A and B are shown apart, each in its own frame.
Chain A
Amino acid sequence: DGGITQSPKYLFRKEGQNVTLSCEQNLNHDAMYWYRQDPGQGLRLIYYSQIVNDFQKGDIAEGYSVSREKKESFPLTVTSAQKNPTAFYLCASSIWGANEKLFFGSGTQLSVL
């Protein structure tokens, strides 16, 4: 079945630690996205990528980094510079073009110990 797989489902971060969230898709989509979801604030865009080896900052990129070495994979690293990382992180993908929709993974809940 085609889809988007995020792992792990739950992740705990210690102070000063970098953690990486995995996102893999087998939909052959060009574009991939990372969103952060906090209670009462909806989805906010962290980073997005249109093609391999290219990515753009979203509205809240500070304290995060990404890579896009393969079309299928778009991992997100939450660095120690992100002071308030506790949130639900959603990865999505789409065909790059007009009038396309987002397909979402099941998310990763990140908490700080």
Chain B
Amino acid sequence: EDKVVQSPLSLVVHEGDTVTLNCSYEVTNFRSLLWYKQEKKAPTFLFMLTSSGIEKKSGRLSSILDKKELFSILNITATQTGDSAVYLCAVNPNTGNQFYFGTGTSLTVIP
């Protein structure tokens, strides 16, 4: 059974801290892994990862994939209150176009 597990489930940090969110997966015929940020309603796209070891970066956010160990991490440096959100990890297997989501990590950044 395809499975995506995120950890931790929730996290509270102070502004300026660095956080690492984890996503591990078990999928048949992996195609891609995606990260989304959900602040209130609609999840917004952050990164798509398809190859191991290649870091994707956007401002203070970065992400990397390890296809051998079947996990990805999302790093946020110098956190701000605007980073408070639920971060979702999704995996797209190479069978159709379904996406399997983890439970999400709820991040709260305190001023």
Listed in ascending order, the chain A residues whose CB lies under 8 Å from chain B are 31, 33, 35, 40-45, 48, 50, 58, 90, 94, 96-107
Chain A residues with CB below 8 A from B103, complex form: 40-42
Query: In the complex, which residues of chain A have a beta carbon less than 8 angstroms from the beta carbon of B44?
Result: 104
* 24 pairs of residues in contact across A and B, judged by CB atoms under 8 Å: A40-B9, A40-B103, A42-B4, A42-B88, A42-B104, A43-B88, A43-B90, A43-B101, A45-B100, A48-B98, A90-B42, A90-B43, A94-B97, A96-B97, A99-B31, A99-B50, A99-B92, A100-B92, A101-B48, A102-B45, A102-B90, A104-B36, A106-B41, A107-B42
Q: Are B41 and A107 in contact, with the CB atoms below 8 A?
A: yes
B interface size (C-beta, 8 A): 26
Which residues of chain B from 6 to 23 have any CB-CB distance to chain A below 8 Å in the complex? 6, 9
Complex Cα distance, B4 from A96, in Å, reads 22
A58 to B55, CA, bound (A): 32
Q: Is the CB of A105 within 8 A of B42?
A: yes
Q: CA A101 – CA B42 in complex, angstroms? A: 14
Residues of A close to B43: CB separation below 8 A: 90, 102, 104
Interface residues of B (CB under 8 A from A): 4, 6, 9, 31-32, 34, 36, 41-45, 48, 50, 88, 90, 92, 94, 97-104
Which residues of chain A come closer than 8 Å to B32, judged between CB atoms? 99
Tell me the complex Cα distance, A43–B87, Å.
12
CA distance A104 to B37 in the complex (A): 11
Q: B98 to A101, Cβ gap below 8 A?
A: no
Q: Which 7 A-B residue pairings sit nearest by Cβ, starting from the closest?
A: A43-B101, A42-B103, A106-B41, A104-B42, A107-B41, A42-B101, A106-B42
| Distance, CA A107 to CA B45, complexed state (A) | 16
